[in-house]
């Protein structure tokens, strides 16, 4: 141990807590060896610890195994990207690990920080939190609108897997447009449900989703029954799009918002806010003349209209149902994908039947682009015109309450 007192470059401090989930030793892109752990610094507070001193790993493993609280001495706190409002703890070879006496809070598992595999999820009971999981989305198996406490909520069920197993994931409301068949995603803050004997996953109001590198699949995939999606093409006979605004702060629906005004005062919490900051939930009806000359009337879902707005760069009209209706009416022909449950999964204009493969390619690229844009702008809460904010519907309030109830009952 060095006797000389060196003035540290940044302020060093001591942090007390319980150690969880010590990782193997890793090597960074810059060839620096480190390992990670989770430090529980409060009843509900979990912080990422990065240790740049491989020799200390045994001490961390022992503290975790023995459930012994520790004092990490001469560490640094740094801003945490993964945990806004929290901090990461950086441990160097100059830091030390000491035994700490009884802490004011109990040791509990950091379910919100833990990364699970599908096989691990399948062993969980219902109403458990799943902090992080990487899965591949195999395909959508259902698309429904359900009433939850007198509010319509949209859900889409996907069969998902990783190399260890397979289950299903119910994606609610605003997240539906972020999830596509065949892609791999990193989901944070999911919850479990029981569907018969099988433990399945569902998104929660705090779920985030980010595309990730391709996730593997089990040797044998369990077959799933999927109703076929139907594609209808033809000219639009009529369209109705309702864009119902609600306050992002108090979640109350607004009856008198004027889309042409840049500011609007919430009718309940009385807060003056930018019109664009109000959250929109869409509903509507689309009537298309199909190839057989029959009029087909279809329910437009929030996610289908949201994806239409996003993929056609109509964000400036996102709050204006009438403007969106006009944009649909000027399309010479639309292509509508309808789920086996009779809901519109997606719709958009077709350029010409001949160049449909080119069109599909272009659309594919577009979807990819816009989803990555969404990711970038998702953290930018100020820019409510970005996709992430528009699609958050006031149903989320209901879902939030559902989750709150669950948390209380735990």
Q: Does 266 bind Zn ion (CB under 5 A)?
A: yes
Residue 390: CB minimum distance to Zn ion, A: 17
3-state secondary structure of 247: coil
Task: Point out which residues pair with 192 in neighbouring strands.
Answer: 201
Q: How many CB atoms lie within 10 A of CB 373?
A: 14
Of 243-251, 274-282, 361-369, 370-378, the segment contacting Zn ion by CB under 5 A is 243-251
Residue 244: CB minimum distance to Zn ion, A: 14
Q: Which is nearer to Zn ion, 250 or 331 (CB)?
A: 250
Among 269, 353, 365, 381, binds Zn ion (CB under 5 A): 269
Q: Which is nearer to Zn ion, 80 or 252 (CB)?
A: 252
Residue 372: CB minimum distance to Zn ion, A: 31
- Answer yes or no: are the C-beta atoms of 135 and 184 closer than 8 Å: yes
- What is the token pair recorded at 174? 């605003």
Position of tokens 């993929």? 311
Q: Which of residues 61-120 bind Zn ion (CB under 5 A)?
A: none
Measured in degrees and rounded to the nearest 5, phi and psi for residue 373 equal -65, -40
Residue 384: CB minimum distance to Zn ion, A: 14
Residue 310: CB minimum distance to Zn ion, A: 25
DSSP-derived secondary structure for 258-306: -TTSSEEE-TTT--EEEGGGSEEEEEEEEEEE-TTS-EEEEEEPHHHHH
Q: Which is nearer to Zn ion, 217 or 246 (CB)?
A: 246
Residue 271: CB minimum distance to Zn ion, A: 5
Size of the site for Zn ion (CB under 5 A): 6
Q: Does 396 bind Zn ion (CB under 5 A)?
A: no
Rounded-to-integer distance, Cα 25 and Cα 284, Å: 53
Task: Point out which residues pair with 115 in neighbouring strands.
Answer: 132
- What is the token pair recorded at 394? 């006031």
Residue 144: CB minimum distance to Zn ion, A: 29
Of 175-183, 264-272, 316-324, 396-404, the segment contacting Zn ion by CB under 5 A is 264-272
Residue 204: CB minimum distance to Zn ion, A: 22
Q: Which is nearer to Zn ion, 250 or 340 (CB)?
A: 250
Rounded to whole angstroms, what are the CA distances from 244 to 205, 270, 402? 19, 18, 22
- Answer yes or no: are the C-beta atoms of 77 and 88 closer than 8 Å: yes
Of 130-138, 223-231, 263-271, 286-294, the segment contacting Zn ion by CB under 5 A is 263-271
Among 127, 249, 265, 397, binds Zn ion (CB under 5 A): 249
Task: Point out which residues pair with 282 in neighbouring strands.
Answer: 243
Q: Does 247 bind Zn ion (CB under 5 A)?
A: yes
Q: Which is nearer to Zn ion, 245 or 348 (CB)?
A: 245
Q: Which is nearer to Zn ion, 5 or 272 (CB)?
A: 272
Rounded to whole angstroms, what are the CA distances from 255 to 69, 93, 247, 341? 54, 61, 11, 31
Q: Which is nearer to Zn ion, 146 or 269 (CB)?
A: 269
Task: Point out which residues pair with 117 in neighbouring strands.
Answer: none
- What is the token pair recorded at 230? 């139907």
Rounded-to-integer distance, Cα 20 and Cα 117, Å: 17
Among 122, 250, 323, 367, binds Zn ion (CB under 5 A): 250
**Interface residues with Zn ion (CB under 5 A)?**
247, 249-250, 266, 268-269
């Amino acid at each position: 141990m060095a006797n000389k007192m060196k003035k540290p470059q940044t302020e060093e401090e001591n942090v007390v807590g319980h150690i969880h989930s010590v990782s193997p030793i890793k090597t960074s892109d810059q060839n620096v060896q480190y390992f990670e752990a989770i430090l529980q610094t409060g009843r509900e507070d979990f912080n990422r610890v990065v240790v740049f001193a491989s020799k200390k790993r045994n001490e961390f493993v022992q503290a975790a195994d023995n459930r012994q609280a520790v004092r990490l001495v001469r560490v640094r706190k740094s801003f945490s990207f993964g945990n806004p409002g929290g901090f990461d703890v950086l441990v160097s070879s100059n830091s030390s690990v000491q035994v700490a006496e009884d802490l004011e809070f109990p040791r509990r598992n950091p379910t919100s920080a833990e990364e699970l595999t599908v096989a691990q999820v399948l062993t969980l009971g219902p109403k458990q939190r799943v902090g992080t999981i990487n899965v591949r989305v195999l395909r959508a198996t259902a698309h429904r609108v359900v009433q939850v406490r007198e509010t319509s909520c949209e859900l889409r069920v996907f069969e998902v897997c990783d190399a260890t197993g397979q289950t299903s994931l119910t994606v609610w409301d605003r997240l539906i447009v972020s999830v596509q068949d065949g892609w791999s995603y990193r989901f944070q803050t999911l919850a479990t449900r029981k569907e018969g004997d099988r433990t399945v996953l569902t998104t929660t109001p705090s779920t985030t989703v980010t595309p990730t590198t391709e996730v593997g699949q089990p040797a044998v995939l369990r077959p799933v029954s999927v109703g076929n999606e139907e594609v209808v093409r033809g000219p639009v006979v009529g369209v109705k799009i309702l864009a119902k605004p609600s306050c992002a702060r108090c979640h109350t629906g607004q009856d008198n918002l004027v889309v042409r005004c840049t500011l609007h005062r919430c009718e309940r919490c009385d807060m003056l806010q930018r019109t664009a900051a109000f959250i929109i939930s869409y509903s509507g009806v689309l009537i298309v003349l199909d190839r057989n000359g029959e009029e087909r009337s279809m329910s437009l879902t929030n996610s289908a209209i949201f994806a239409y707005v996003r993929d056609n760069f109509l964000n400036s009209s996102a709050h204006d149902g009438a403007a969106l209706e006009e944009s649909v009416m000027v399309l010479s022909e639309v292509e509508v994908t309808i789920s086996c449950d009779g809901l519109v999964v997606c719709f958009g204009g077709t350029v010409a039947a001949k160049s449909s493969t080119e069109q599909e390619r272009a659309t594919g690229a577009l979807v990819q682009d816009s989803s990555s844009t969404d990711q970038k702008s998702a953290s930018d809460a100020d820019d409510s015109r970005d996709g992430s904010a528009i699609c958050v519907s006031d149903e989320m309030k209901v879902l939030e309450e559902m989750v709150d109830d669950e948390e209380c009952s735990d």
